[in-house]
A and B are shown apart, each in its own frame.
Chain A
Amino acid sequence: MATATIIGRDTRVHARVSGAGDIEVQGHLEGELTVGGEARIESTATVAADVRARRIVVRGAVKGDLSADESILLEDGARVVGDVRAPRVAIAPGGLVRGYVETQAAGAKPASRAVTPARRVDGVRAVPPAPKSKPAVVHVAAKHAAPKGRGITLAGGKAPPPVVPVLKKGTKAALTKRR
């Protein structure tokens, strides 16, 4: 098991943090966070950084984009301002997000929803199967058409409607109206 890395709650880090293994942030991190294992942003943490990891669990505040190779779990208390991308994204009741959320992100293992539009594009041009980065282009093009909250599942895969609607940037007014 890789050694646990902890940024304690009374610690401030202004840095690029990278490496294999897991990291737990309880304090303040500003810069960039890239780890090969799991990144846990605890409830006392304030993170102003793009976070990349295999798995990301958030219970605290993050300003920056989250992207994970496996999954992102936004627990109760999570406050995220930024984009969230991972093959599996779960937002638990009490998790708050403002930003673009995409499941089955590019670079993930192929899944039916991600692959279908990509093939269509490829078929028109008769190009061989797209490299992994290609679906990303399709996703970006399609993202404006995607309905709000699409692709979001709660932990466990059951589908009670999300308590917290996921917003695209600049839709705060719409939320206020709905409430």
Chain B
Amino acid sequence: MASTVIGANITIEGEVIADEDVVVQGTIRGKLSAKEGVTVESGAVVEADVSGGPMTVAGQVTGNVTSTDRVELQSGARVVGNVKAARITIADGAHFKGNVDMDV
């Protein structure tokens, strides 16, 4: 399965549109939209609105997060922004500031 990886030393300022998985280890400023899963790894910095399928966040996200599936904020994640998803899990030790919107 092909996927896109933004490595740890890379900065992207602009828009990333993927029809596949995206793994972020570096920095994205702008907009990130994926059709498949999005993984923001520990050490990654995302200053962007993020949309996509299942999301796993262990790094830092500033922006609104929208997922068609689940959002998982792992321990060590720092998220500032609104999260809209079908399911959301926030692990003990994750920092989060924003609104949560789930299908209730």
Contacts and interface: CB of A to CB of B under 8 A. Distances in A.
Check if A and B associate: yes
Nearest to B36: A10
Interface in A2-40: 2-23, 26-27, 31, 35-36
A13 to B, nearest CB: 5
A57 to B, nearest CB: 17
Contacts of A18: 10-11, 13
A19 B28 CA distance: 12
A43 B11 CA distance: 24
Interface residues of A, number: 27
A16 B16 CA distance: 11
A8 B3 contact: yes
Contacts of B13: 15-18
Report which residue of A4, A13, A20 has the largest number of chain B beta carbons within 10 angstroms of its beta carbon.
A13
B99 interface: no
B89 interface: no
Interface stretch (B19-27, B54-62, B63-71, B74-82): B19-27
B14 A2 contact: no
Given A10-B19, A10-B20, A15 B30 contact: yes
Contacts of B22: 8, 11
- Range class of the B interface residue count: 20 to 34
Interface in B8-59: 8-22, 25-27, 30
Contacts of B2: 8-10, 26
B98 interface: no
Interface string A34-54: 011000000000000000000
A15 B12 contact: yes
A70 B75 CA distance: 42
Nearest to A16: B13
A151 B53 CA distance: 50
Which A-B residue pairs are the 8 nearest by beta carbons?
Answer: A15-B14, A5-B7, A3-B7, A10-B19, A19-B10, A11-B18, A8-B4, A20-B9
Given A9-B20, A13-B14, A36-B9, 8 more contacts: A5-B9, A10-B18, A13-B16, A14-B17, A17-B10, A17-B14, A19-B7, A19-B11
Interface of B: 2-22, 25-27, 30
